[in-house]
A = this chain, B = another copy of it.
Amino acid sequence: MTGKPFPSVWLREPRKATSPGRSREEIVRAALELLDEEGLAGLSMRKLGAKLRAGATSLYWYVANKDELLELVYDEIWGEMTVPDHEEVGWRDAAAALAYSMRQVIVRHPWAAEFVGRLPALGPNALWVANELRKMFKAAGFTGLDTDYAIATLTAYVYGMTIPEIAWNKSTGGHVYDADEMRAAVAKAAAPFPEMLESVDMATYDDPKAVREIAFDFGLVSVLDGLERRLAT
């Protein structure tokens, strides 16, 4: 009963509802900007302080530490999701649209890809999205724990497809590489594995962005098909 308290920003009261000068919201907004511009490694309390024309240590009045600030910013991005009305378009299209939106949010905030493995999404916006998914899958016919499993499966797919894609983007540094050059590099790396070479010859490196879209679709259809099959039995 009186165990350790579960540690998360979301279970503590904010220091104040509002305040005249700086505020939690202002800090979170500035942090989000800095993260989008410079990435997770580019955010420091000192830089953030400077951006707000304040001493780095002033922020500690509004936020317990950097991790807590990141939790707040992380939840912020899930507020950007566009969630379709499943009663209009049907559960399957709604779930697919939500998956696309989720992918978009992560692509728009690449630092989030690194953050998924660090702290769980427990903020109000994340809960809102989870709840919308729940409504969709319940409408689809899932009951009991199966609803949770179905939600986890879909979101897992989106995370797992998007996170390594972001990692790839980072390693190429946003720079678009020449298709032939890329092919040559992959051919060299894949040399010990003859089965892999065939895919190198293919169109993959001419329009990587298009291929990724198709890949995402392929997997999404597969996952939704698979989930639908759970309903039939």
Contacts and interface: CB of A to CB of B under 8 A. Distances in A.
Contacts of A138: 195
A229 B223 CA distance: 10
B166 A156 contact: no
A195 B118 CA distance: 27
Contacts of A159: 156, 159-160, 163-164
B222 A229 contact: yes
A29 B147 CA distance: 42
A127 interface: yes
A114 interface: yes
Interface in A73-114: 113-114
A47 interface: no
Majority secondary structure of chain A interface residues (helix, strand, loop or mixed)? helix
A21 interface: no
A121 B10 CA distance: 34
Contact of A116 (B7, B10, B117, B222): B117
Interface residues of A, number: 83
Contacts of A225: 225-226, 229
A119 interface: yes
B164 A116 contact: yes
Nearest to A134: B195
A105 to B, nearest CB: 14
A148 to B, nearest CB: 6
Contacts of A190: 127, 131
A20 interface: no
A19 interface: no
A215 B118 CA distance: 21
